[in-house]
Amino acid sequence: MILMSTDQPVVPTKAERRLCESLHLRDEESEALLRAMHLGKAARQAVVFSPRAPQAYEPPFACAESSRFPWLPARVRIPVEGEKPTRYADYTLGLYYVLDLSSCWEGAALSALSGAPLRSLDMCAAPGGKSMLLAAHVQLLDHTANEVHAARRGILRQNVELCGLPNTRVTGWRPEQWSRSGELFDLIMVDAPCSGQSLLCKGMKNPGCLGKNVVQGNAKRQRGILSAAACCLAPGGYLLYTTCTYAPEENERSVAYLLRRTSEISACDVPALAAFRSTLSEFPSYRLLPHHGAGAGGFCCLLQREK
């Protein structure tokens, strides 16, 4: 039984207990995760300066000390608690993009790239956060932001134009179309559709996200997307896989599925995220949980095709 800050006892559901067991968490870690899922207050905002922002740009709001987060790139800031970055004119002018700090943590794997990719693809791009983060890490030389859903693609296009992402085209291809296209990329980002279990820690409703069928259905879809992405990876190219969920089936096991079937691809160490190394895989992969204090949580794994 978990005692919440309101002193009201909460009994974890069977699905919640199953999740904690699958993550091999210690008792105190399980308690922290369950508390975060029930309180729904783990979200933490961050802003990514867009290419429109001058090199020496400083935002019009107060920022928290970011020394606790050495994995953040220089062009990311954390607003102090209570600040609303979206209320400033600079936001409407596209000088920065707002997202959860855990997304920035996932993007920190980009720090392990050997250099700016000549061609890059954000395969599941809407609403645009990962593409914005890529632009904060490296110069965009020839970038494709792809979103299969038309309505979400419209939002993506608006954000790309508003924030002035250079050398970027917006497309709407399905994964299997990419696999047959013959196009090759030096970096592919797959921020995969998932069960979104971390949404509970943001206070958002997400019915059924802990259910076995939901998790397994998403894992099957993710493995198809990863397989399609692998077909488009140039020799020496990188594939960054990220989710905003906790289930191992959608994270470590989905990556393991690809590695078993594609011998020329291997997982890369990400020194900036060494403290977050997952214990659920033999290969380098990384997990963020709400009690780490950097947002609602997520998963990332950086892969590379042999040259």
Residues designated catalytic: 244
Q: How many CB atoms lie within 10 A of CB 35?
A: 19
C-alpha pair distances (Å), 259 with each of 24, 179, 180:
23, 17, 20
Taking every pair of Cα atoms in the chain, the longest distance, rounded to a whole number of angstroms, is 58
Integer Cα distance of 136 and 164 in angstroms: 12
Q: What are the backbone angles phi and psi of residue 218, rounded to the nearest 5°?
A: -65, -40
**Are 300 and 286 contacting, i.e. CB atoms less than 8 angstroms apart?**
yes
Residues 6+ apart with CB under 8 A from 114: none
How is residue 78 written in tokens? 């954390």
Give the three-state DSSP class for 35: helix
Q: Where do the H-state alpha helices sit in 58-196?
A: 89-92, 101-107, 129-137, 150-162, 175-181
C-alpha pair distances (Å), 8 with each of 28, 32, 81:
18, 16, 26
C-alpha pair distances (Å), 105 with each of 110, 129, 220, 243, 263:
10, 12, 25, 11, 28
Listed residue (249, 258, 242, 259) closest to 216, CA to CA: 249
Residue 73 is given by DSSP the state -
Q: How many CB atoms lie within 10 A of CB 161?
A: 12
